[in-house]
Amino acid sequence: MTPHGACPPRLPDGIRACLFDLDGVITKTDVQHRQAWKETFDPFLSEYEGEAGRPFSLGDYMRHVDGMPRHEAVHHLLASRDIPLPPGDSHDLPGQDSENALANRKDELLTRSLDDEFIEAYPGTLRFVRAARQAGMRTALVSASSHCAQVIGACGADHLFDTRIDGHTARERRLRGKPAPDSYNEAASELRVAPGEAAVFEDGPAGIEAAVRGSFGWIVAIDRCGRREDLLKPGPDLVVDDLAELLQPSTTHARQAPTRGPANPRHLERLHVRDPRSDQSHQHQDGPGP
């Protein structure tokens, strides 16, 4: 057991840092993102016929939108339906006249939702993050969202992360959005670890692809929506329903422990229970948190 009676995290040998996506991994705000996108796209798409006019779906969210910067997400969704729309610019008023206008409409709806609704974290993820830090791991928050600081602060978990790379960081440092690996590479650099020494925890195909392209040491997909087939395509090492599954005490390897099973066998024989006593000099001390 780690301090305070928590189960230790099960991580492969050589992993020194854990990098987490925000929406759908740490907080339940993925639901608000999906709803904001649907309320943005459905009125626009209703003007078109056939496949182009089909209402925005969970599959659309997973394959074309989740994890991407807003303006890139709009372009990707419209391109999938062969709908031409001028790009406009970031100052376009929220509306339907350009890709950026649609992106700004989505942000308007999401901002209203985040201001009005309670922001809740996934308990299993918070338990895993705390256990990882108590075992000597450094931790980072990596999100395309410009609302990242607001969201993680609202659920009282900002103290659990050593650094944050979000939408504001990406613009300031000119980082490409997911599925490019730039944001995860930047987080690893700030934590002073090589990509191969870092684990990435994601709930969207674009983020998983970013971690694969960045050659990160261990990539875990979290299936919150029953879309395991979409998560498997980019090639994660493991798919789980909740990160609490990686806190189960066990002396066996990953073929027997996670409930959803592995997606990629390259780390199976290295997965083990991290003993915090082996890393006491680097151990983090965290407050009680939520």
d(CA 262, CA 121): 25
Which is the catalytic residue, given 13, 23, 42, 97?
Answer: 23
For residue 210, which of 186, 187, 183 has the smallest C-alpha distance?
183
CB 208 within 8 A of CB 202: yes
- Whole-angstrom CA distances from 132 to 113, 126, 127, 154 are 31, 10, 9, 22
For residue 131, which of 189, 192, 201, 219 has the smallest C-alpha distance?
201
Which is the catalytic residue, given 21, 92, 203, 230?
Answer: 21
User: What tokens were used for 34?
Assistant: 């999906």
Q: Categorise residue 271: left if φ over 0, alpha if ψ from -120 to 50, beta otherwise.
A: beta
Is 23 an active-site residue? yes
Helices marked H in the chain? 30-45, 58-60, 70-80, 99-116, 123-134, 148-154, 167-173, 182-191, 205-213, 228-232
Is 13 an active-site residue? no
What is the rounded (10 degree) CA torsion for 248, 251, 252, 256? -20
d(CA 142, CA 287): 22
- For residue 270, what are the contacts with CB-CB under 8 A and spacing of at least 6? 12, 13, 14
User: What tokens were used for 149?
Assistant: 């600081």
Annotated catalytic sites, by residue?
21, 23
